[in-house]
Amino acid sequence: MNSFVGVGVGPGDPELMTLKAVRHIQSADVLAYLVNKEGHSQAKEIAKNFIEDQELLPILMPMADDSKVGDQVYDQASAQIQVLLDQDKKVAFLCEGDPLFYASFTYLLSRLEHNSTIVVPGISSPQSAACALQHPLTMLTESYCVITGRHDETFIEHALTKFDSIVIMKAGRARVKILTCLENTQRLDEAKYLEYIGRDNEYIQWDVKQLEKKAGPYFSMFVVTKATRPRV
């Protein structure tokens, strides 16, 4: 029976894929995933051990700040996927991390939700960041928020002032701005920085004052937690 399945494949380590993700990947007729202009897909790379003879549908997503480019890609991809679903095929869309957390799958879901759809959760990057740091994201009554480096300085500083724990996603191009915000809110010493969590090139910087003041890679984030916590 046809269905459109969003499959979260986790943050990078294939051992963090769920049994359910593997089952849906192995039983799919078609595997769809975003690729960059070099043809690389992080999600496909994570899931590669479970790809056999499924038909592959790479979707080229050019790096562009113009949201119209993304709209066109998702319009075209959802039309292609609709054709496959109309042929009674099961199409699994591979999604890095969780499919409903800052994820490309959400744009396809909104275009294809009139079909039979299934969403398989994946381990998200903030959870894997906390485990890589072996450091609790939250304790007791601490508050927690997730923002992105795409927010402006005022918004980031507001979050850093109001919340105990903050994860700042999409830190790559915003690294210098985020470091300034951490300094302005006296939270530099409470911040940790991570790149490529769970992958061969994982990098963790516990002392963010050591970071070069320049842009970092796309797969990077800051985790900020309170320096003093109660002993329980």
Q: Which residues bind ligand SAM (CB under 6 A)?
A: 11-12, 96-98, 101-103, 124-125, 169-171, 194-198, 218-221
Closest approach, Cβ 2 to ligand SAM, in A, equals: 25
Closest approach, Cβ 121 to ligand SAM, in A, equals: 9
> Which residue's CB is nearer to ligand SAM, number 29 or number 35?
35
Closest approach, Cβ 147 to ligand SAM, in A, equals: 11
> Which residue's CB is nearer to ligand SAM, number 73 or number 84?
73
Closest approach, Cβ 119 to ligand SAM, in A, equals: 12
Q: What is the 3-state secondary structure (H, E, C) of the chain?
A: CCEEEEEECECCCHHHCCHHHHHHHHCCCEEEEEECCCCCCHHHHHHHHHCCCCEEEEEECCCCCCHHHHHHHHHHHHHHHHHHHHCCCEEEEEECECCCCCCCHHHHHHHHCCCCEEEECCCCHHHHHHHHHCCCCCCCCCCEEEEECCCCHHHHHHHHHHCCEEEEECCCCCHHHHHHHHHHCCCHHHEEEEECCCCCCCEEECCHHHCCCCCCCCCEEEEECCCCCCCC
Closest approach, Cβ 111 to ligand SAM, in A, equals: 18
> Which residue's CB is nearer to ligand SAM, number 11 or number 166?
11
> Which residue's CB is nearer to ligand SAM, number 25 or number 221?
221
> Which residue's CB is nearer to ligand SAM, number 181 or number 221?
221
Amino acid sitting at position 19: L
> Which residue's CB is nearer to ligand SAM, number 98 or number 190?
98
Residue with the CB atom nearest ligand SAM in the bound state: 97
Separation between Cα atoms, residue 68 and residue 83, nearest integer Å: 23
